[in-house]
Structure 1
Amino acid sequence: MVVIWNDLACGEREATAVLVAINSIFQVVAFSLLGWFYLTVLPGWLGLDTQGLEVSVGQIALNVLVFLGVPLIAGFASRWIGEKRRGRDWYENRFLPRVGPWALYGLLFTIVLLFALQGEAITSSPFDVARIALPLLVYFALMWFVGLLLGKGLGLGYARSTTLAFTAAGNNFELAIAVAIGTFGAASGQALAGVVGPLIEVPVLVGLVYVSLWAARAWFHTDPYAPDTATTDLRRTP
């Protein structure tokens, strides 16, 4: 999804690809440790009740390897084999356009299935949905603005700054849904939280795309649709 938001906001595609790859590798390594910390260690520090919650690092790591590691390896393998046998032009212009949409189809199917399983919980417990939604709303907005302002402060230009902002704000709810289902079950409260994520992320980030395009002119003095948004300064335009 980060790639989609970045394209809509006229960010830098190359930087997005690098950040997404780094993020994927980091998640394979750190996701299980972070899950163990937030589910086991942090609740104890805050005095929260963790009775009945039994989650191991190995269980989370296995789900991460299945749902993220396997597709990551398959992606590298398909590119290596495809380019070696048929060439880069065939792989990028023939193979990827045919295979790429299936990732979105699979995600949409999973979300529809989860809504079918969690529909009653969503409609009967609106307060629980609101408790999940409000922190996510704050998270998306805060991380996006921090990322954009940090990029501007570092002099990265609009294209790279907006790429940094949307990468920071993206929470990879696809992996969160997969791990929640694999660890706690499709009818669990954790899966419900995963379903609420896209409900909040999609409209919020669509709105932030418009804010980003406005900020290109107001803060960066740049035309976001120019060929090189990193160097096009409207103040120098006659």
Structure 2
Amino acid sequence: MGIFERYLSVWVALCISGGIAFGLLVPDLFAWIAEAEYAQVNLIVAVLIWAMIFPMMTQVNLTSIKLATREPKGLILTLVVNWLIKPFTMFALGYFFFYMVFADFISPENQAQYLAGLILLGVAPCTAMVFVWSQLTRGDASYTLLQVSVNDVILIFAFAPIAGLLLGLTELTVPWATLTLSVLLYVVIPFIAAMLVRWWLLRKGPEALVKFQLRLKPTAVIGLCLTVLILFGLQAQSIVNSPFVMLLIAVPLVLQTYLIYGIALTGAWYLRLPSRIAAPACLIGTSNFFELAVAVAIGVFGITSGAALATVVGVLVEVPVMLSLVALSNRMAPWLNARSENN
């Protein structure tokens, strides 16, 4: 892990603190940022979102999908967890906590907004950081790429329908045009652009692609940090007025992460998957494509919305929680491998 990835929690925490401080000190600056919109898309944040997403998209290798026929069980596991279980458990936990457990502490409007943010996180399985988690658990790099690639292809087609379905259950008016536009702007277009860049670089040799990715890699974290700073700057007054709101949002997020990991690990144990495949499969589902979730929350509900705040809280809690699951995966590796060999 590079210094950017290793200390991501530190950078995010600093940006949150800085965003709140600047939001209180220079509110006019953030008001100007919020007004820099065209067709409900904030132009400044759009640039930062592309900075986050594009480096990750260049890692997708569509030709690796054919490898699924060799060891399909790991792929089946991650697809079932990511698309048939995770979005719905996230909705259930969010609804339970925001509408029942924390109902006395959250206004009805914010209940729906926070739940919407959790839904967007739940419908977006991890795309980039899972390569870091895979490396830390000695996962099979090629198979991890396969899992991520297939999930990304499904994401392009399934994200908007599933998110729209669950968002409709929150009693919010679903702006389908904006939701679809956000997916197009933040998934489809950068994906196509990344594939063209990847194809052009590979014509020069694999080394050219690797060198390009290494040079571009810091822009993802820089874009993420600046986005977090802006989001918390815009939310500064609300956070000061309700300082424990982030804790309330974090509770279902943390529980969801451990729940999904437990479900995926149980499936890996039942399927007798070796650790090199099981660990990445479990961690893809537990981790989130928070860059996309943040982008869509901003595009659909606005840069100052509670939904956007909820997705940013997801960024804050994800890294330390995922590192704990990496440690757990490494502890489980001998048992998973022994069970796989006795198949």
- TM-score per shorter chain, which class? 0.7 to 0.9
> Quick one: distance in 2 between partners of 1:66 and 1:10?
34
Per-residue deviation, 1:221:
5.7
> Quick one: distance in 1 between partners of 2:194 and 2:305?
31
Runs of 4+ in 1 over 3 A off after TM superposition: none
**3-state SS of paired residue (1:220):** helix
Gaps of 5+ in 1: 44-49, 223-229, 234-238
Deviations 1:201-221 (A, max 9, x none): 11111111111111223x236
Amino acid in structure 2 at the alignment position of 1:77 = L
Per-residue deviation, 1:109:
1.7
**3-state SS of paired residue (2:138):** coil
Answering whether residue 131 of structure 2 is matched by residue 16 of structure 1, we say no
Per-residue deviation, 1:88:
2.1
> Quick one: distance in 2 between partners of 1:13 and 1:112?
33
> Quick one: distance in 2 between partners of 1:56 and 1:179?
11
Answering whether residue 132 of structure 2 is matched by residue 4 of structure 1, we say yes
- Equivalent pairs: percent with the same residue? 36
- 1:65-214 correspondence to structure 2 within 5 Å: 65-84=184-203, 86-92=204-210, 94-214=211-331
Q: 1:161 and 1:54, CA in 2 relative to 1: closer, same or farther beyond 3 A?
A: same
> Quick one: distance in 2 between partners of 1:210 and 1:68?
31
> Quick one: distance in 1 between partners of 2:233 and 2:316?
15
> Quick one: distance in 1 between partners of 2:133 and 2:336?
19
Q: Choose 110-119 or 136-145, whichever is displaced more.
A: 110-119
Q: 1:3 and 1:122, CA in 2 relative to 1: closer, same or farther beyond 3 A?
A: farther
Answering whether residue 142 of structure 2 is matched by residue 25 of structure 1, we say no
TM-score if structure 1 supplies the norm length? 0.82
Per-residue deviation, 1:191:
0.7
> Quick one: distance in 1 between partners of 2:135 and 2:239?
32
Answering whether residue 173 of structure 2 is matched by residue 54 of structure 1, we say yes
Alignment check: 8 A CA contact 2:272 2:336 kept: no
**3-state SS of paired residue (2:173):** coil
Gaps of 5+ in 2: 1-128
How many equivalent pairs are there?
213
